[in-house]
């Protein structure tokens, strides 16, 4: 039987009172905080690690997937486009030149509007960006529980080097990736286990030589991917290799399995011309827990969404079908002052896989941050936010709210799992990433 102990009541110091409080400094939290600050309200961002970027930096997912539809139309503008450029401000990139000046369209056969980026340079650039935008970032601080009054979050308890403290705010944005606040505040959520993978950077003299010959730094120091490629919500992931990212046991199991893959690899590749030079310091969970909101992403024939906060795509498809994400997918009637942002917004099945790509996370972050600032200024709940006002601000900032005529022809393409035509364990080398799939199956698109 589970044992419990009762903790004695204790006075907790209130260290901050702010307008908007963001939990989590991944790409979604950064976008939310910056968007709110741009509306002139006070913003604090609480981050449990010591770097910004979340999975995109400490999780080694340094691939900003396409923000165009693969037919020459830009789908994501606003912060989803700005953040791509912030990530590559101080490092090499492989952004196609045709997109560098941020045009709305490019020739239909253009390379995709995407880039790899250097992790340390992105972290430093994100530090600078958030500081310049007036966001108060507090590192090394873990949200643990909400302070509730009915269905309103009045504040949160944060554990840090200073001990247990309280942060009070008018509006909250849960960008923890795992819906920590939404769940603990009592809203409905769905959980999903994730397959194990492990990305790291390596030095291999042969590969490096090729990169040097081509003058391509990103190619000289590629990323290696061990583990299984996701099915994109097709539901074929192997049960025995899945872990629950919302429990201590699941996280530890994931870390043991994924680091085990890396250690096996190292043992087999103990050579003088090879070195592993980085490890992820965030477990690479794709989907863990999400809000079950008032609405969710519809990815069938439902194209026009009146309350759309922006267009999204499955970034791996070419051409990519363009969908619209409803405002109601960021909120729930169970909570009056909490928004979800990032890979934990309301989207089920394949829709969840679509909403977890970096550009979509930034889009929902921007919308949540802007809406939170509006709610502070208008002294209203998340349910009462003036959606037209929100849409106007987003649109003025470059967000594409609705599909254009040019984006309409793209037909949905469903991902297929394919047996690879190589022996399990054979490295597949593409330009910036080396895949090794020990189980011997992977998705059709071989890149991510
Ligand atoms: C293996 C893998 C490969 C992927 N490949 C790609 C790809 O190639 N391109 C792409 O676009 N997308 C890819 N994705 C998806 C994408 O990287 C993520 O979905 C996206 O970065 C999530 O951003 P986020 O801000 O929503 O969440 P996260 O990046 O998870 O950020 C959450 C942040 O909140 C913090 N946090 C969590 N809990 C707390 C707490 N209690 N208190 C305080 N802080 C907290 C975390 O430290 C973190 O910084 C991949 C994901 C994985 C796992």
Choose which residue among 56, 245, 369 to substitute to test ligand 1 binding: the one with the highest number of ligand atoms within 8 A of its C-beta.
Answer: 56
- The CA distance from 357 to 137, in Å, is 24
The structure tokens listed for 404 are: 């254009």
Please report the pLDDT score of residue 236 as a whole number: 47
Which atom of ligand 1 is nearest the CA belonging to 30?
25
Residue nearest to atom 49 of ligand 1 (CA): 54
Give the pLDDT band of residue 225 (cuts 50, 70, 90): confident
Cβ neighbors of 335 (< 8 A, separation 6 or more) are 151, 152, 153, 182, 185, 186, 187, 382
Range with the lowest mean pLDDT among 65-79, 369-383, 392-406, 422-436? 422-436
Distances 49 to 13, 46, 88, 165, 232 between C-alpha atoms, Å:
22, 9, 22, 17, 28
Span from the CA of 61 to the centroid of ligand 1 (angstroms):
8
The Å distance, Cα 272 to ligand 1 centre, comes to 34
- Per-residue confidence (pLDDT) for residue 228, from 0 to 100: 64
**What distance in angstroms lies between residue 362's CA and the mean position of ligand 1's atoms?**
11
Burial 230-265 (b: 16+ CB within 10 A, else e): bbbbeeebeeebbbbbbeeebbebbeebbbebbeeb
Cα of 365 from ligand 1 centre, angstroms: 12
Q: Phi then psi for 62, rounded to 5 degrees?
A: -90, 45
> Ligand 1: which of 224, 344, 356 to mutate, judged by most atoms within 8 Å of the beta carbon?
356
Q: From the CA of 59, give the closest atom in ligand 1.
A: 53
Q: For ligand 1, atom 19, name the residue with the nearest CA.
A: 356
Mapping DSSP to helix (H, G, I), strand (E, B) and coil, where does residue 263 land? helix
Rounded to two decimals, what is the model's pTM? 0.93
What does the pLDDT read at residue 398?
Answer: 98
C-alpha 412 to ligand 1 mean position (Å): 25
C-beta neighbour count of 306 within 10 angstroms: 11
Query: Residue 326 — very low, low, confident or very high, per pLDDT cuts 50/70/90?
Result: very high
Q: What local confidence, expressed as pLDDT, does residue 242 receive?
A: 79
- pLDDT higher than 70, residue 69: yes
pLDDT averaged over every residue in the chain = 89
- Cα(126) to ligand 1 centroid in Å equals 15
Q: How many CB atoms within 10 Å of residue 8?
A: 4
pLDDT in tens, 176-203: 999 999 999 999 999 998 888 888 888 9
155-169 residue pLDDT tens: 999 999 999 999 999
User: Is residue 74 predicted with pLDDT exceeding 80?
Assistant: yes
Q: Which of 30, 176, 241 to mutate to test the pocket of ligand 1 (most atoms within 8 A of CB)?
A: 176
pLDDT digits (tens, 9 = 90+) for 401-445: 999 988 887 765 544 444 445 454 555 554 455 554 444 333 322
**From 49, 177, 352, mutation site for ligand 1 pocket: most ligand atoms within 8 A of C-beta:** 177
Q: Give the length of the chain.
A: 448
Greatest mean pLDDT range, 40-54, 317-331, 394-408, 414-428:
40-54
Q: Pairing mode, if any, of strands 197-204 and 274-276?
A: antiparallel
CA of 264 from ligand 1 middle (Å) equals 26
pLDDT digits (tens, 9 = 90+) for 245-273: 999 999 999 999 889 888 988 898 899 99
Residue 35 has pLDDT above 90, yes or no: yes
Distance 151 CA to ligand 1 centre (A): 27
| pLDDT over 90 percentage in the chain | 72
Average pLDDT over every residue of 47-61: 97
Higher-scoring residue by pLDDT: 229, 175? 175
Beta-carbon count within 10 A of 216 CB? 16
Query: For residues 139 and 50, what is the distance between their CA atoms, to the nearest angstrom?
Result: 5
Question: Is cis: bond before 98, omega within 30 of 0?
Answer: no
User: Ligand 1 centroid vs 177 CA: distance in angstroms?
Assistant: 6
Task: Determine which residue's CA is closest to atom 30 belonging to ligand 1.
Answer: 177
The pLDDT assigned to 441 comes to 33
**Burial class for 44, CB neighbours closer than 10 Å (0-12, 13-18, 19+):** buried
**Nearest-atom index, ligand 1, CA of 29:** 25
Give the number of other CB atoms < 10 A from CB of residue 63. 20
CA nearest to 425, candidates 194, 206, 268: 268
Q: What is the pLDDT of residue 235?
A: 45
Predicted local confidence at residue 409, as pLDDT: 72
CA distance 285 to 242: 10
Atom of ligand 1 nearest to the CA of 225: 1
pLDDT-derived band at 350, boundaries 50, 70, 90: confident
Q: Which atom of ligand 1 is nearest to the CA of 282?
A: 47
320 has pLDDT over 80:
yes
Q: Whose CA is nearest to atom 37 of ligand 1?
A: 176
Q: Of ligand 1's atoms, which has the minimum distance to the CA of residue 56?
A: 21
Which runs of E-coded beta strand occur in 213-296?
223-227, 242-243, 274-276, 289-291
Mean pLDDT of 278-292: 94
Taking CB atoms and a 6 Å cutoff, what residues make up the pocket around ligand 1?
23-29, 46-49, 54-56, 59, 61, 63, 65, 142-143, 175-178, 180, 197, 284-286, 315, 342-343, 356-358, 361, 448
Q: How far is the CA of 56 from the centre of ligand 1 (A)?
A: 6
**Per-residue confidence (pLDDT) for residue 443, from 0 to 100:** 31
Of 13-27, 267-281, 293-307, 325-339, minimum mean pLDDT range? 293-307
Q: For residue 64, which atom of ligand 1 is closest to its CA?
A: 11
Residue 21 has pLDDT above 80, yes or no: yes
């Amino acid at each position: 039987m589970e044992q419990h102990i009762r903790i004695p009541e204790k006075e907790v110091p209130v260290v901050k009172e702010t307008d908007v409080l963001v939990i989590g400094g991944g790409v979604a939290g950064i976008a939310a905080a910056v968007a709110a600050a741009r509306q002139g309200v006070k913003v604090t961002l609480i981050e449990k690690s010591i770097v910004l970027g979340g999975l995109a930096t400490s999780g080694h997912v340094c691939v900003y997937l396409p923000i165009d539809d693969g037919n020459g139309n830009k789908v994501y503008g606003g912060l989803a486009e700005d953040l791509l450029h912030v990530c590559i401000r101080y490092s090499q990139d492989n952004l196609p030149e045709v997109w560098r000046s941020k045009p709305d369209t490019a020739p239909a056969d253009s390379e995709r509007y995407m880039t790899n980026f250097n992790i340390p340079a992105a972290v430093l650039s994100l530090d600078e960006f958030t500081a310049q935008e007036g966001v108060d970032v507090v590192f090394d601080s873990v949200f643990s529980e909400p302070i509730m009054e009915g269905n309103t979050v009045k504040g949160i308890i944060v554990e840090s080097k200073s001990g247990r403290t309280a942060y009070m705010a008018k509006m909250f944005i849960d960008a923890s990736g795992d819906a920590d606040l939404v769940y603990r505040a009592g809203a409905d959520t769905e959980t999903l286990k994730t397959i194990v993978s492990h990305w790291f950077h390596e030095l291999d003299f042969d590969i490096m030589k090729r990169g040097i010959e081509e003058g391509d730094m990103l190619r000289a120091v590629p990323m290696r991917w061990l583990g299984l490629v996701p099915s994109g919500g097709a539901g074929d992931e192997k049960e025995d290799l899945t872990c629950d990212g919302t429990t201590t046991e699941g996280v530890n199991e994931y870390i043991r399995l994924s680091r085990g893959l890396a250690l096996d690899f190292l043992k087999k590749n103990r050579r003088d011309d090879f070195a592993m030079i980085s490890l992820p310091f965030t477990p690479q969970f794709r989907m863990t827990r999400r809000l079950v909101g008032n609405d969710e992403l519809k990815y069938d024939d439902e194209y026009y969404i009146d309350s759309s906060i922006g267009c999204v795509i499955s970034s791996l498809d070419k051409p990519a079908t363009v969908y619209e994400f409803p405002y109601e997918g960021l909120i729930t009637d169970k909570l009056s002052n909490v928004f979800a942002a990032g890979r934990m917004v309301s989207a089920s099945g394949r829709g969840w896989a679509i909403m977890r790509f970096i550009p979509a996370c930034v889009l929902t972050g921007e919308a949540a941050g802007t809406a939170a600032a509006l709610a502070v200024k208008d002294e209203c709940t998340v349910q009462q936010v003036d959606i037209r006002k929100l849409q106007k601000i987003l649109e003025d900032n470059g967000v594409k709210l609705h599909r254009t005529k040019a984006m309409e022809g793209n037909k949905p393409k469903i991902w297929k799992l394919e047996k690879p035509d190589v022996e399990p364990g054979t490295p597949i080398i593409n330009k910036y990433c080396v895949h090794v799939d020990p189980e011997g199956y992977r998705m059709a698109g071989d890149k991510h």
